[in-house]
Amino acid sequence: MLHVSNLRKSYSEGSSQRDVLSDVSFIINRGELIVLLGRSGSGKSTLLNMISGMDVPTTGSIEFEGQDLTNMSDTARTLFRRKHLGIIFQSFNLIPTLTVEENILLPLELTGTANQEQRQLALDVLREVNLGDRGDSFPDRLSGGEQQRVAIARALAHKPSLILADEPTGNLDFRTADTVMDILQRLVHDERRTMLVATHDRDIIRLADRVLELQGGKLKDVTPAAQHEAAQKEAAQQDVEAADNASPGV
């Protein structure tokens, strides 16, 4: 469904060029849950910006449902995004001047096609995230967890092909994160929707089909999640042993 080929994004700093992303290629298939790993500065945000169509690469292509995003105008990409993408941000990013219901319907409202059926759909999604009664409230009345749930609902309401999420549980406490996790699992994973998540959350990684790791702008590894976890465990084990050997008589 999503083909990323030879993606390169570079910025000029003075006389030299700096590559934020270089030669990134991968495929995401329908129904997959992919986790994107990488430290700060690894180019994660840039990659997500490209895929969502909010930015364009220097070279390379991004093919989404058969259409090349890199050849489209800003407005075309926006419309595309509006139709096919759902985005969940780390800091909720609800529109404060819209009610919860209006926030959820935002993409549809922007298209101007929010008819009765779709409204019903939105309410359904809201109920799915257990906020069915909060439709008329404004975001500043909701707690952090509630806001994130609304954000998820918004990302799903227009039935997008691909959902992008950036640290969806990053700002939440353990308990709330759990709830959100549940929802993600239920509404995304179980429904076999395609999702690309940037996260460090172990539970999400465990759910993932594959793990993409970015290091210094290059795609380092593309491993199945289970393998990744195993690899992590092993790495951790080695660290402990090394520590033991290093300090005698403890």
Partner 1 sequence: MALSILGVALGVAVVVGIDLANSSARTAFRLSTETVAGRATHAIVPGSGLLADDTYRNLRADSGLRNAAPVLEGHIRAGSASGPVLQVLGIDPLAEEPFRSYTGGPEGELDLGAFLGPQRTGLISRSTAQGLGIQSGDDLTTFREGKSSSIRILDIIDPDPGFSEASLENLIVVDIATAQALLESPGKLSRIDLILSKEEQGDKIAVLEDVLPPGARIEAASARSSTLDQMTQAFSLNLTAMSLLAMVVGMFLIYNTMTFSVVQRRGLIGRLRGIGVTSSEIFGLILGEAAVVGLIGSAIGMVAGVALGSVLIDLVTRSINDLYFTVRIQDLNITPLGLAKGVLVGLGTTVLAAFAPAREATRTMPSTALRRSEDESRLEARRGLLAGSGLILGILGALVLRTSGESIAFSYVGILFVILATSLWVPFLVDSGSRAVRPLMGRLFGVVGRMAASGIHHSLSRSAVAIAALTVAVAATSGVGIMVDSFRTTVDTWLRYSLEADVYISPPGMVFRRNDATIDTAVEERIRSMEGVSETYSVRTAHVLIDGRMSDLIVTEPRDSDLEPGRYKELPDFDHREAMTARDVVMVSEPYAFRFGTQVGDFLEIATSDGPRPFEVGAIYYDYASDLGVVQMARSRYEFHFDDRQVSGLAVYAADGVDVDDLIDNLTSVTANDQGLLIRSNRSLRQASLDVFDQTFTVTAVLRLLTILVAFIGVLTALMALQLERAREISVLRANGMTPSQVHRMVTTQTGLMGLLSGLLSVPLGLLLAWLLIFVINQRSFGWTLQFEIDLMVLGQAVLLAVIAALLAGWFPGRSMSRMNATEALRFE
Q: Count residues contacting partner 1 (CB under 8 A)?
A: 39
179 sits near partner 1 (criterion: CB under 8 A): no
Can residue 166 be called a binding residue for partner 1 (CB under 8 A)?
Answer: yes
How many helices and strands (H and E) does the chain possess? 9, 10
110 binds partner 1 (CB under 8 A): yes
- Is the Cβ of residue 112 or residue 248 nearer to partner 1 in the bound state? 112
Q: Which stretch binds partner 1 (CB under 8 A): 86-94, 116-124, 172-180, 223-231?
A: 86-94
What is the rounded radius of gyration, in angstroms, for the C-alpha atoms of the chain? 20
Tell me the window of 27-35, 62-70, 74-82, 229-237 that interacts with partner 1 (CB under 8 A).
74-82
**H helices within the chain, ranges in order?**
44-51, 74-84, 100-104, 106-111, 116-128, 144-157, 174-183, 202-207, 225-246
Q: Indicate whether 159 belongs to the interface with partner 1 (CB under 8 A).
A: no
Q: How far is the CB of 145 from partner 1 (least distance, A)?
A: 18
Between 111 and 227, whose beta carbon lies closer to partner 1? 111
User: 16-40 burial string, b = 16+ CB within 10 Å, else e?
Assistant: eeeebbbebebebeeebbbbbbbee
The residue range among 79-87, 118-126, 217-225, 238-246 that interacts with partner 1, by the rule CB under 8 A, is 79-87
Residue 216 tokens read as 């210094």
Is residue 40 a contact residue for partner 1 (CB under 8 A)?
A: yes
If one asks whether residue 52 binds partner 1 (CB under 8 A), the answer comes out as: yes
Residue 145 in tokens: 């967890």
The β-bridge relationship of strands 194-198 and 33-37 is parallel
User: Which of 14, 66, 112, 249 touches partner 1 by CB under 8 A?
Assistant: 112
Separation between Cα atoms, residue 43 and residue 215, nearest integer Å = 8
User: Mask of contacts with partner 1, 214-233, x by CB under 8 A?
Assistant: --------------------
Q: State yes or no: residue 48 binds partner 1 (CB under 8 A).
A: yes
- Name the region of 199 (left: φ>0; alpha: ψ -120 to 50; beta: rest): beta
> First and final CA of the chain: distance in angstroms?
54
Interface positions with partner 1 (CB under 8 A): 40, 44-45, 48-49, 52, 54-55, 74-75, 78-79, 81-83, 85, 87, 89-90, 93-98, 102, 105-107, 109-112, 138, 140, 154, 166-167, 198
